[in-house]
Chain A
Amino acid sequence: MKHVKIIFTLTLIVLVASMMIYFVEGFTTPYIDAYNERQANLAKLDILPDYDGSFEDVSEDYDLENSPIVKMELAGEVAVFYTIEFGGYNPGITVLVGFDLVSNNIIGFRVIEQNETAGLGSVITEEDFQTQFDNLSPDDIDSIGGTTAVVTLGGVKTALNSVADFHSVEFQGAVLETPEERIIRLKEEITEVDATFTDITSDYDISGSPISKVEMVNNGSDFAILYTVEFAGYRIQFEDETRFNEYFVSFDLDTHDLIGLRVDKQFDTAGFGDQILDPVFEAQFDNLAQDAIDDVAGVTASVTLGGLKGSLEDVVNFHKSEIEGTHVETYPEMVERYKDEITVVDAIINDDSANYDLTETMVTKVELANDGTSDVAVIYTVEFVGYNTTDVVEYIISFDLDTHDILGFRVLYQNETIGYGSLIEDDDFYIQFEDMPQLDAQNGDIDAIAGTSGAPDTTFAFKASLYDVVSFHQTEFQGMIVETDEERQSRLWSELFPTATVFTKVTRDYSAHYDVEEFYEAYDGATYLGNIYHVKAEGASYSEETYLEFFLGIAEDNTFTGVKMWDDSETDGKADPFYLVEYSDLYLGEDIETDYTIDEVAGATMTNTALQYAVLQISIYHVEEYLGLPFARPANVDTADANLLLAFPTAVTFNSVYLDYAYEANIYNLYEALDGSGTVIGYVYYGYANGLNLIEFTWGVDLSGTTQEIYIVLESETWELAETQTYTTPQYDGTAGYFPTTTWLDNFEGVTFSSLLNTEIDDIIGVSRTTESLRDVLEIIAQFHSDESVGGAG
């Protein structure tokens, strides 16, 4: 009985409780659902605060295929909301935009998601920017502003214009110009209204030209030719698709000048490349003379503009030869002319490449030039990579088969920076190669491209390729047997100590150095001349370990006699400049203990840094181990505590520990940072970099190797050029930039040294000298910190 009562009571209570919950659930559910819906529609309600109806997802009812719209919701008869996705500087901007269904104006713009640069593109999330869209007529979309991030802004405008078009078609019954109608309109704009176009493409050979269509234009009589032209812009590759920009250009059949040009398709960066769509830009082509194409300007994106101009020049050439009947030299004809110019007139050229092993050389083709009776010269076609690492420079160079000197040089193809590296393709540059002694070419004893400071990267790479070609020629045509390792070593040694007769290996007499394979004393008879160190040191290891192997000569008076590269595993070609005699000579006569400066080798700064670091280590080894003397180094330079405090704000006192660690040229001084209780909490480096002018800085790092602040103590850099770059300079006032506050420096704050060494921090275009040099020095310090185990760092 008792059990029955228990079970009965329990059941009853549970039943009553469940009933109660059931009824309350039924009562509250609508409210909870309404709340959840309100949460989901928050952004929409923000735009339309007074709306109390529901939102209907009508994405399925419309064809959103070719629009940026990903979702479309109707708010009754009041408004329609489009969720759109597009790219700005980075992909993945999601925006909600509302259109009023009565006025058909934009009533609100809310950024749901974006990943643009903070402070630039991210401005689109700010209220001031978004309020521009309140009751904005779709016609005024192009008038929005408020950010200097042209790419982001361009993305917004393009996407919104496309949505506005969509909206006007679907809700206002607008009929958009069809693509066909648009093409006809564009064509008529640059010819004549109601002209007839006859496709005459099949009459011409358009292969090898950018022309995809040739049309005869008739208004009663044939009066113009219209070309449809494709060219590669900046964004050629889009996902898996290759996309070309396209334009129409018409030529008058009477004057043969341009009538006009209209861009039909373009895929380039909004705000930059798409400036070619600007009517003002297009108007420049109205009645433009054929030879004035180069004067066209007004597009920031050099690649897009260059592509357009280049293709237009090809079209002009096509027009000249095919329509005007003027002969235009073709590429093969040009090559033939060049080969004649650098050998003999009417030379017979025979490709002899098959007889040589071209795998280990930059030479891609070997041709013999015959004057009708005998082979007089050899022409090498050579490819190398200059400043533009995505393209090659191709040239031909000829050697006299009798004297083995250079006969001439011509560039077949180059895509270097216009006005700098591109000047390799210039008659003024060519002329020096006429009858140039072989040795000059081998030693790179030539004029620099575009002057000494013009195109150092291209010049260095070019010199390295010349050395390669000359070596190839010497081996194959002058019967010079390739040096054996012993021969090469003895030649290099004699270059280091020309008068030496005896070399004595003394490696085992001294304690070992990690980088030193062997080292030798050089004697002239019994007279000690100096030491040769055979060094194998770490190279510029960005991602994988590389090595640099070289001989370093140190004379008896503690000056260098040179650095002779033996071998390396650097990225292809990066170490080539260091094999040159002129590089070795940079060291000649420098006192190993003074702060000598070896000029930066453009394009191989990391390798140069690594090599110099190794040389310094050997210098120290030489003095301390071989001579048994303390290595003289510059006394530490002190700086005010205030400057240190700015680099390590949590420290209280600083204590120089400069002398406890190895010498590093870029470090003036090194301090321990102590807190109030005298405990070491980190270190501060006081160093310098050679930017445009001297840059002095302090830089803090804590015990975990995490950097604190970097403070620029001294600088007088010109920073204006950096203004348009990704990084902001808070104190930039429109006329003068201010380097010490640039956010670029943030890259070096609050990061670990190890991550710093593993990530490549971009320098800033326009001020690359400043940023590159500072970055390199900071990386040297990071390396120093771990190499020297400062404060136990590993």
Chain B
Amino acid sequence: MEYIAIAFGAIFVNNVILNQFYGLCPFLGVSTKKSSALSMGMAVTFVITLSTMIAFAIYNYVLVPNEITYLSTIVFILVIASFVQLVEMFIKRFSASLYSALGVYLPLITTNCAVLGVAIDITVNSNKIFETDTPTFMMVTIYALGISLGYALVIFLFSAIREEMDAYPIKRNWKGIPIALITAFIMAMIFVGFGGIV
């Protein structure tokens, strides 16, 4: 039950994009087409979930025992960058089709602040999310998975809306980013409604 609450909260209530403002650059940049949004969503899900698990392990088994938690930012970004590099190499080597789908988006993920943001949130700022200073590995994994699914969900929905919107005349100065932001505003309002469920 607790896990369901965490997952639901991560996907809908504390939606990473609409509520926490992580990963907005790719959100606005890559979400013009459904297909690319879907690929980006998948890539992000993959990277966030795994890198969060790695970050959690490093934080609790390396940084905390050695009392060097102040290095978390620098360590996490290096881990994420290397990890993304590794994933890219791995996919390139073993699956050409997957690489053609995801490959372009992987380097972008390094600078997707959702990845680093979630890693920091579940370690340094864990008490804000789990109401405990020592969340379990399971809680963290579910949270990370929920967050990234929420990311994928919103970016996909958003791209679908934007595709439709392209067919309609929009005033010049509202075209592009501004109307996208207004759309995001309405989506964010809708997601606020999920807050009442938990």
A residues sitting closer than 8 Å to B (CB atoms) are 17, 21, 25
Contact = CB atoms under 8 A, between A and B. Distances in A.
B70 interface: yes
B78 to A, nearest CB: 9
B1 interface: no
Contacts of A17: 74
Contacts, number: 5
B71 interface: yes
A25 B66 CA distance: 14
5 contacts: A17-B74, A21-B70, A21-B71, A21-B74, A25-B70
Contacts of A25: 70
Nearest to B78: A14
Contacts of B71: 21
A21 B68 CA distance: 11
A21 B71 CA distance: 8
A544 B7 CA distance: 35
Contacts of B74: 17, 21
Interface in B70-87: 70-71, 74
For the complex of A and B, 5 pairs with smallest distance between CB atoms: A25-B70, A21-B71, A17-B74, A21-B70, A21-B74
Interface string B158-181: 000000000000000000000000
A17 B71 CA distance: 11
A308 B89 CA distance: 87
A21 B75 CA distance: 12
B74 to A, nearest CB: 7
Interface residues of B, number: 3
A700 B70 CA distance: 56
B120 to A, nearest CB: 16
Interface in B55-75: 70-71, 74
Nearest to A17: B74
Interface of B: 70-71, 74
A25 B74 CA distance: 14
A21 B69 CA distance: 12
Contacts of A21: 70-71, 74
A306 B171 CA distance: 85
A12 to B, nearest CB: 15
A17 B74 CA distance: 10
A261 B181 CA distance: 81
Nearest to A32: B70
A681 to B, nearest CB: 17
Nearest to B70: A25
B170 to A, nearest CB: 29
B80 to A, nearest CB: 16
A298 to B, nearest CB: 50
A543 to B, nearest CB: 24
A25 B71 CA distance: 10
B72 to A, nearest CB: 11
Contacts of B70: 21, 25
A46 to B, nearest CB: 24
A625 to B, nearest CB: 44
Nearest to B71: A21
A19 to B, nearest CB: 12
A482 to B, nearest CB: 54
A702 to B, nearest CB: 14
A120 to B, nearest CB: 30
A25 B70 CA distance: 8
A31 to B, nearest CB: 13
A102 to B, nearest CB: 40
B2 to A, nearest CB: 23
B70 to A, nearest CB: 6
A30 to B, nearest CB: 14
A24 to B, nearest CB: 9
A765 B120 CA distance: 55
A787 to B, nearest CB: 28
B5 to A, nearest CB: 21
Nearest to B68: A25
Nearest to B73: A21
A392 B103 CA distance: 82
A707 B96 CA distance: 60
A654 to B, nearest CB: 27
Nearest to A28: B70
A17 B77 CA distance: 14
B77 to A, nearest CB: 12
A17 B73 CA distance: 13
B63 to A, nearest CB: 13
A581 to B, nearest CB: 55
A703 to B, nearest CB: 15
A21 B70 CA distance: 9
A25 B68 CA distance: 10
B62 to A, nearest CB: 15
A39 to B, nearest CB: 14
A718 B125 CA distance: 56
A579 B164 CA distance: 74
B197 to A, nearest CB: 13
A745 to B, nearest CB: 25
Nearest to A25: B70
Nearest to A29: B70
A385 B4 CA distance: 49
A25 B73 CA distance: 14
A17 B70 CA distance: 13
A21 B72 CA distance: 12
B193 to A, nearest CB: 14
A32 to B, nearest CB: 9
B56 to A, nearest CB: 22
A17 B78 CA distance: 13
B67 to A, nearest CB: 10
B81 to A, nearest CB: 12
